Structure 1
Amino acid sequence: MALPPRGGGRFNPRFNRQPEPEHRINERIRVPQVRLVGDNVTVGVYSTQEALKIAQEQELDLVEISPTADPPVCKVIDYKKFLYEKKRKEKEMKANSKQSEVKEIRFTPGTDDHDFDFKAKHAEKFLKDGNKVKAYVQFKGRAIMFQDRGQLLLLKFAERLAEAGSLESMPKLEGKRMFAIFTPKTATKKK
């Protein structure tokens, strides 16, 4: 026995809609008058039909730039080129505004010199890249008795990172962790 087609075989308009463009263009502009701007255009208030004719003569699009203005501002431009430029600028701005991260470096009260040097080199690299570094000493079990070792270790770490970054505050104990946060030197100069 054959099953009927799923959805009843009817046309469903919700699934066939074209995505609404970001700006109203050409015939989608439904106001009687617009303020026209753009290259090779006399700036002024025109009827929408007249503005559309000017855009068609130049083989360009009439794009509503500021719909809330009175009358709405429209520009005569190549719409696809306009969207491409806008997307490129947004991408460029996003690339330039790099978010700084907080990188963590973990020690124990018994961290030896080789591990200390290895972790210090990584911390210097993180600071030079513009990231903050949170260094902490993890105390397990009875190791909590050696809080002074942890504090000395973090202060020694601060001394080692003095060229690349600065210590935000003295080491603090929170639960079974003693931590210190370092900020990059370049970030402190910009403030």
Structure 2
Amino acid sequence: MSFEAFLSSVALCEGGDGGGLQIIYLFKKLLINNQIRSPRVRVIDEAGKQLGIIPLQEALQIAKGRNLDLMQVTERVEPPVCKLMDYGKYIYSEQKKARKEAQKQKSGQLKQIRISLGISPHDLEVKTIQAKKFLKRGDKVRIEMRLRGRERSFGQLAREKMSKFTEILKGSVAIKIERELKKEPRGLTMIISKE
């Protein structure tokens, strides 16, 4: 595979663990123009109209005349189906779709905020600012309150602190409770998201 063919079948995206570029394979290698080996092909034009089964050289001439590329869509049938299209535009649109999909996956992450029973008002404010930032980005937020030792006997006070936290958030961001306040062995948790 030539370097140009390799670049045409991948997308470069920023991010990842190392902060550099990630290479994401978009699709299997597609055969275009002179890479197609079948002597006869079934041709579909750019509007989706079938031109029929014609010799490969004639199909290449039609593509060249229309200033387009002949791209093999499927090879499972005999003769293979080829479509007239602008290969550069096709690659660009596929890369754009891949970036959108990557952003959708990235935006639905679950972030965690941990508060304690004896949290000070200022610390509570800092935690709400952080939660707002996560919610505005589209992330879900898991709010956790760890109860240690004798703190476990103050269950009602812990519930009040958690409800106060969500009330502060509701004042500035419309939130939806994904999972109600739940008692767990080490404390209380709930999951919220932006409405």
Aligned pairs for 1:165-176 within 5 A: 165-176=175-186
Instruction: Specify the alignment match of 1:162 in structure 2.
Output: 170
Question: Scaled by the length of structure 1, what TM-score is found?
Answer: 0.69
Secondary structure at the aligned position of 1:23 is classed as coil
Secondary structure at the aligned position of 2:170 is classed as coil
Report deviation, 1:123. Answer: 1.8
Instruction: Specify the alignment match of 2:31 in structure 1.
Output: 24
Report deviation, 1:183. Answer: 2.1
Contact 1:158/1:167, CA 8 A, preserved across alignment: no
Instruction: Specify the alignment match of 1:141 in structure 2.
Output: 149
Residue type of the partner of 2:91? Answer: L
Instruction: Specify the alignment match of 2:24 in structure 1.
Output: none
* Greater fraction of residues in strand: 2
Report deviation, 1:64. Answer: 0.7
Gaps of at least 5 residues in structure 1 are: 1-16, 186-191
Identify if the C-alpha distance between structure 1 residues 134 and 28 changes in structure 2 by more than 3 Å, giving closer, same or farther: same
Instruction: Specify the alignment match of 1:152 in structure 2.
Output: 160
Residue type of the partner of 1:67? Answer: E
Secondary structure at the aligned position of 1:104 is classed as strand
CA deviations on 1:71-114 (whole Å, 9 max, x unpaired) are: 32213445445434432343345446653122211111111222
Question: Scaled by the length of structure 2, what TM-score is found?
Answer: 0.68
Gaps of at least 5 residues in structure 2 are: 10-28
2: distance between equivalents of 1:110 and 1:95? 37
| CA-atom RMSD in angstroms | 3.1
1: distance between equivalents of 2:189 and 2:50? 65
Structure showing greater radius of gyration is 1
Contact 1:62/1:75, CA 8 A, preserved across alignment: yes
Report deviation, 1:46. Answer: 0.2
Identify if the C-alpha distance between structure 1 residues 100 and 173 changes in structure 2 by more than 3 Å, giving closer, same or farther: same
Report deviation, 1:143. Answer: 2.4
Contact 1:158/1:166, CA 8 A, preserved across alignment: no
Aligned pairs for 1:52-91 within 5 A: 52-56=60-64, 61-91=69-99
Aligned pairs for 1:77-156 within 5 A: 77-95=85-103, 98-156=106-164
* Number of residues of Structure 1 aligned to a counterpart in Structure 2: 169
Secondary structure at the aligned position of 1:68 is classed as coil
Report deviation, 1:153. Answer: 0.9
Report deviation, 1:44. Answer: 2.2
1: distance between equivalents of 2:100 and 2:116? 42
Aligned pairs for 1:32-51 within 5 A: 32-39=39-46, 43-51=51-59
